Amino acid sequence: MMQRFKELSIATSITLCVFLTTLVFLSVTIIVLSCFTPDSIGRFHVLFTLTALGLLLCFSVWFVTKRRMEPLQSLLAHMATLGQKEGDARYLPQSTNSEIGKLTIAFNELLQELDDDVAAQREAAQIYRIVAENTCEVAVWRLPDNSVRFISSNCQTIFGHLDAEFYADPALLEQLIHPDDRGRWQQHVARSISYAKSIELRMCTVDGSVRWFRHYSRQIQDENNQTIGFRSSFLDITRQKESQEVTARALALMTHAKREWEETLDCIDDVVMLVDSEHRIQRTNRRISTLTGYAVEDLVGKDWRELFQECGFSFTVFRNNSGELIHHESERLFDIFFYQIQHNDQPSMVVTMHDSTELRRATEQLQAAYDNLEQTQLKVFQQEKLASIGQLAAGVAHEINNPMGFISSNLTSLKKYGMRLDEYIAVLQGSLYSCPNHPDMSGIDTLRQKLKVDYIISDITQLIEESLEGAERVRKIVADLKSFSRLDESKLTPASINDCLDSTINIVWNELKYVAEIDRQYGELPMVPCYPQQLNQVFMNLLVNAAHAMTERGVITVKTWQADNSVFIAITDTGKGIPPQHVERIFEPFFTTKEVGKGTGLGLSICYDIVKKHSGEITVASTLGAGSTFTVRLPLEPVQTENTNEK
């Protein structure tokens, strides 16, 4: 019952106590009034009763109040000594479920929350201290008057100054900032209410070194948007800055080297491509743009084979690691090479293309010049031989002409003397026989017959005629040889082609007479402007080749005629003929069908050049096993050309 009474609230307990006391007081009063008559009740008894009841009422109220206020007093006393208590001693014991008990519960819960908040604050402070003191970032809280409210203790490690120095001298922080960066720092702090980006600045340390820091700043405002300070941080980025500078220098060098390499590759006329295993272009220089018409950026990722085929390229030769390409529109030739490499740990290939058109042309021109030089050298050699023959012929002709002169003169005189002696003998014989008394002439006639005087007289004339004819032939051969070997012609000279042929046949007769008969079929020809000695060389080569083509004795036909303002000379042999596959190459320098050591391959080439110099042409028609015909056409009005024969 008392336990339930204790659980009642104080107001309820006092009210209940007063109610019960008043009820008892009224009950006693009624009992007293019912037991005693008014006359019998004395004032003393009434007063005593009321006094007793009043005292009882006061005692009851006091008792109840005292019993109900004891927990409250205990709570007040506990709270008065709360600061001296630790641990669980700070908590109130809960004895009842009354207001005091609930207040005790609320007090204990509030105290627990306070303990939790203090623990959390201590933990947060410890965490902040650990973070602030074990980082390269110096945290600073400055009040609006620039005094330092807080600075992390790691400032000694980073700046070389104790935190107490900053508290004592707030201007020390600004003094550490490099003079060239203070203006930027002040501006950054001034606009830090809305400007959240960081800045980089330099700060001086105790040892005099200058280090780089990244500075963050933010204004701190209260709930009324009033500035209560500035929260700043300084992060040491010196190593990062040095690394950035090293990286920047390395990147600049790499960029410069890359640009130099790209410019170098872009300056060359060769195409250089890096392609992957599927032949897609990864990198290339700008030369390919001029060939394909595409920008370099548009070529990345394209298959170079399809690209080249699209742009009119095709392979003429393809080998394992190289080949030749032709661009059909420009007819330019390219050498292409392939190099296998590893790029980004993947099999790749470098493809290069070199424009070899000019090189091939130069090579062909050089080869042609070399062939021409060699041909000219042999021509000069042959002409020098002919010149030597000419000089020898001139000397021999001079030496032969002298004795041949007096031989011819003497033979002519001898012929005259023989005719006179024959006439004299005939007159003398006639005179002897006409005398009436002539002596016996039988002995003389017998001796005349025996000595064959009549035959001798008639044969002497014939012998002298033949000797004169032989002397004339010797003179003519010497003249032809001298004329044939002359190579100092500088102007076109009108000449008889038939005479030139006769002269040449006379010179090479020794080559011809044993293998062939000469069939001259000369037509009536006008004088032809030409270089006679050079044409003699053409005719000599054709006649000698005709003789060499004979496998058995045959016929060489030399035919001339005039047609269409041109003179034609055809030399036909009955030899073995020329194989069809050789006919087209018969006039090429150094091409010969003769055995090794028996021909230089220049004879017909020289003939071709000489005829072309006369604005003419030389053709060949041959039937294998039946012979060949070389036909020379010479215009009657050739174009004047410079004589290139060297003396």
DSSP state of 303: B
Of the two residues 64 and 334, the one the predictor is more confident about is 334
Query: What is the torsion angle, in degrees rounded to the nearest 10, for the CA atoms of residue 371, residue 372, residue 375 and residue 378?
Result: -110
What pLDDT score does 560 carry? 94
Q: Where does residue 197 rank: exposed (0-12), middle (13-18), buried (19+ CB within 10 A)?
A: exposed
pLDDT at 48 over 80: no
Q: Is the per-residue pLDDT at 642 higher than 50?
A: no
| Residue 646: predicted pLDDT | 38
> Is the predicted pLDDT of residue 641 greater than 60, yes or no?
no
pLDDT of residue 582: 80
- Domain locations in the chain as residue ranges: 2-87, 135-236, 268-355, 378-486, 488-647
| Domain 135-236 belongs in CATH node 2.30.42.10 | no
634 vs 193 pLDDT, higher one: 634
CATH topology of domain 268-355: Beta-Lactamase (3.30.450)
Let me know: does 507 contact 476? Beta carbons within 8 Å: no
Tens of pLDDT, residue by residue over 409-454, are 777 777 777 777 777 777 777 776 676 666 666 677 777 777 777 7
Residue 221 is predicted with a pLDDT of 82
Poorest-pLDDT segment among 61-65, 319-323, 549-553, 573-577: 61-65
Q: What are phi and psi of 398, to 5 degrees?
A: -65, -45
Question: Cα–Cα distance between 585 and 593 in angstroms, integer?
Answer: 10
Q: Write out pLDDT tens, residues 204-257.
A: 988 888 999 998 888 888 888 888 888 888 888 888 888 888 888 888 888 888
Tell me what pLDDT residue 503 has: 84
Q: For the ranges 94-98, 186-190, 355-359, 580-584, which has the lowest average pLDDT? A: 94-98
Q: Is the pLDDT of residue 604 over 50?
A: yes
Q: How confident is the model at residue 562 (pLDDT cuts 50, 70, 90)?
A: very high
Q: How confident is the model at residue 180 (pLDDT cuts 50, 70, 90)?
A: very high
Lowest-confidence region among 88-102, 270-284, 501-515, 521-535: 88-102
- CA dist 4 to 1, 15, 140, 175, Å? 5, 15, 61, 75
**Could you report the per-residue pLDDT of 262-310, keeping only the tens digit for each?**
788 888 888 899 999 888 988 888 888 888 888 888 888 889 888 888 8
Q: Which whole-number Å values give the CA distances from 55 to 11, 31, 38, 60, 518, in the listed order?
A: 21, 19, 24, 8, 192
pLDDT at 115: 79
**What is the chain's mean pLDDT, rounded?**
78
- At residue 436, the pLDDT reads 62
By percentage, how much of the chain surpasses pLDDT 90? 9
3-state secondary structure of 296: helix
Task: Please indicate whether the domains covering 135-236 and 268-355 agree at the CATH topology level.
Answer: yes
Which pLDDT does position 596 carry in this prediction?
Answer: 41
Strand pairing report for 137-142 and 227-236:
antiparallel
User: Tokens 């109220």, residue?
Assistant: 61
- Are 465 and 418 within 8 A, CB to CB? no
pLDDT for the residue 647: 31
Q: Which residue has the tokens 């809960």?
A: 94
What's 488-647's CATH class? alpha beta
Which residues have CB under 8 Å from 318's CB, separation 6+?
A: 324
Residue 459: pLDDT band with limits 50, 70, 90: confident
**pLDDT band at residue 632 under the 50/70/90 scheme:** very high
